[in-house]
Structure 1
């Protein structure tokens, strides 16, 4: 069994097998891009799944990710598509020091990327950095899990087989997932087991990647955004922009960047 201290180094190798064809959210991001204009920032851009369609639509877009392995995959995909204008930055969401103040009209954090920040302090630092690099009036889009009791129960699983893929070298990949939910800490710990079977010898090599999501509830997230200088425009329950409901699996939050000088926290009575 092979392991690594960086789970995303393992995940990056196989990420596109599962998500390269996931396009359910692309149209909504393109629609918001048309509304706001460029430049656009994606934080947690991974292997470039969203960067490609945004750049192909003619927008100037930058991508940020903490994982060198993910960014290397993104660079390969962008080069293959002839998209040379996209800039990639390897840094944490909490420290966007490579990016200039008041630059972006639209910022996107897709597919639970915000939940990879390990605690409230990290989430606050990331929102402060996003506020710094965005233009006043720009929009921030956050796509996160809607952590209802039903959703959390559904996520909990001791071990499950996710699927099998044929790899370019002829070997077969099987993935298994184990997931535990810790409500008191608002944590979801996921362990991924990647079993790669050699086509000639039948030998199985296992790689293990473990990561934690720190989920947030609706009004907790609203408060975090407001304290960081954002005003909530809407919270949707789907990529079709349906209203958030008890059954919604996700929260798609649209928040407008406000000047800090005009922001004040009001307590309703």
Structure 2
């Protein structure tokens, strides 16, 4: 048994796990962008959200803390002949690259929940404001803050274990994935441990490994207040366009004027 790095390009590209993909949602929300616009994604991973913007001729900037995820994204760009339209940056949020003015800034998959401190969220939004133009659009999604659900995961008996399912893996092997989660109200942190059991074609256990993830769920009003503090105005909060399995809000914001 071993503890693996959470961000694994191989598993992500194989779409192992229960999270739906939101790339088409962001592409649709920004269909009006002028040709050749600069689109930045924070937490870009292997490029599933950002790559379609490059295919449309936009200039893309991908930000991620994982060198392995960025390496795979660069390979995909090169394979499609789009390397000249992209710049990839390894950064640990809330830091952002200097002097990269963007027409659109994207934060998919409740990225901000990975910031476990409110001061980090404020700093991130202020850094986004620093690289924004007067008409820059900022889009992010936020999971609905479900008080009853999070409360059920708190306390000595609050841990939840759930099965994610069995997924095809390398060769004729498969992965049986389960998750154990616990919420700590005192810190606001949701701690998730994922268990991966690799099975051969006869169903025999080959190996087991774990990945850990800590999240800080936030109420939508906390998010919009932090945006306003950083100099953005909330244009719209929409909960209708998400695929099944994602109870999220999509937040549209722009630089505040006046």
> Structure 2 length normalisation: TM-score?
0.85
How many residues in Structure 1 have an aligned counterpart in Structure 2? 249
Q: Which has the higher helix share?
A: 1
SS at match of 1:18: coil
Can you give the 5+ residue segments of structure 2 that lack an aligned partner in the other structure?
none
Change (3 A) 1:132 1:53: same
User: Match of 1:92?
Assistant: 92
CA RMSD, aligned part only? 2.8
CA distance in 2, matches of 1:88, 1:210: 25
Paired residue for 1:127, among 96, 104, 125?
125
**1:178-236 superposed Cα distances (whole Å, 9 cap, x missing partner):** 11123343221111112223559945222211111111112211110011010010111
Stretches (4+) displaced over 4 A = 19-24, 153-157, 198-203
Aligned to 1:51: 50
1:179-258 superposed matches below 5 A: 179-198=181-200, 202-239=204-241, 249-258=247-256
Gaps of 5+ in 1: 242-247, 263-269
> Paired residue for 1:67?
66
Does 2:113 align with 1:111? no
| Alpha-carbon separation, structure 2, partners of 1:192 and 1:20 | 10
Could you tell me whether the CA contact under 8 Å between 1:175 and 1:192 is conserved in 2?
A: yes
In 1, the alpha carbon distance for the partners of 2:123 and 2:183 equals 25
Q: TM-score, normalised by structure 1?
A: 0.82
- SS of 2:89 mapped into structure 1: strand
